[in-house]
A and B are shown apart, each in its own frame.
Chain A
Amino acid sequence: EAQVTQNPRYLITVTGKKLTVTCSQNMNHEYMSWYRQDPGLGLRQIYYSMNVEVTDKGDVPEGYKVSRKEKRNFPLILESPSPNQTSLYFCASSSRFGRDSGYEQYFGPGTRLTVT
């Protein structure tokens, strides 16, 4: 089954304790992206990656890091989490090539992070 998976689904942590949220897709997609969803603000892009070893900042990259060492994985790293990073995080992937694909993004189930 084609899908995007995220782990963990729920995480409660304390300020300053480094954490990683994993994202994996099995559709051989070139493009992957991370978003955070906050009430009243919708979804905002954190980082995206156009292919292996190619990443770039989205709209709200501060406090986050990413890496893309393999095509299928795109982990989100919070080196020193703070309470303002409490949010619902979504990973997404898509195929960049071919207008017919419409660049549809496939979303993971979300990771709810609470930083106390």
Chain B
Amino acid sequence: AQRVTQPEKLLSVFKGAPVELKCNYSYSGSPELFWYVQYSRQRLQLLLRHISRESIKGFTADLNKGETSFHLKKPFAQEEDSAMYYCALLTGGGNKLTFGTGTQLKVEL
């Protein structure tokens, strides 16, 4: 069965410091991975997806099939990055989105 693991419940960094939110997955097929973000009192929204290899709000994530990881990175954290971040794995031909338990990122001044 597929699984997504986000080992950190809370990650606290200072403004301007690098950020890395960890995500590991377990899936026997070809994975499609996403990062979703939930700002305070707002709905979840897609941050980025591995197939488009894009950078959104300075965040990037590289799929490492050897390590089965999809870590989210940003070189310089900003206060507005404080939010809950979810890694998600799409399987079942696009029918099933399995989320990790989420990491709360807190950027301190």
| Interfacial chain A residues near B101, Cβ < 8 Å | 40-42
Q: A48-B95, A103-B32 are in contact. Are A42 and B43 (CB under 8 A)?
A: no
Q: Flag whether B17 is at the interface (Cβ < 8 A).
A: no
Residue in contact with A102 in the complex, picked from B6, B9, B51, CB distance below 8 Å = B51
| Interfacial chain A residues near B97, Cβ < 8 Å | 33, 45, 92, 103, 105
- Min Cβ gap A39→B in Å is 9
- Min Cβ gap B43→A in Å is 5
Interface size class of A (residues with CB under 8 A): 20 to 34
- Min Cβ gap B10→A in Å is 11
Residue in contact with A104 in the complex, picked from B43, B49, B96, CB distance below 8 Å = B49
Query: Are B44 and A96 interface neighbours, CB within 8 A?
Result: no
The digit string for B96-109, where 1 denotes a CB below 8 A from any CB of A, is 11111110000000
Q: Flag whether B86 is at the interface (Cβ < 8 A).
A: yes
Bound complex: CA A8 to CA B96 (Å):
25
Of A11-19, A64-72, A79-87, A107-115, the one touching chain B: A107-115
Query: Are A42 and B51 interface neighbours, CB within 8 A?
Result: no
Bound complex: CA A113 to CA B51 (Å):
35
Query: Are A45 and B43 interface neighbours, CB within 8 A?
Result: no
8 closest pairs, A vs B, by CB? A42-B101, A43-B99, A107-B44, A102-B49, A107-B43, A103-B94, A42-B99, A42-B102
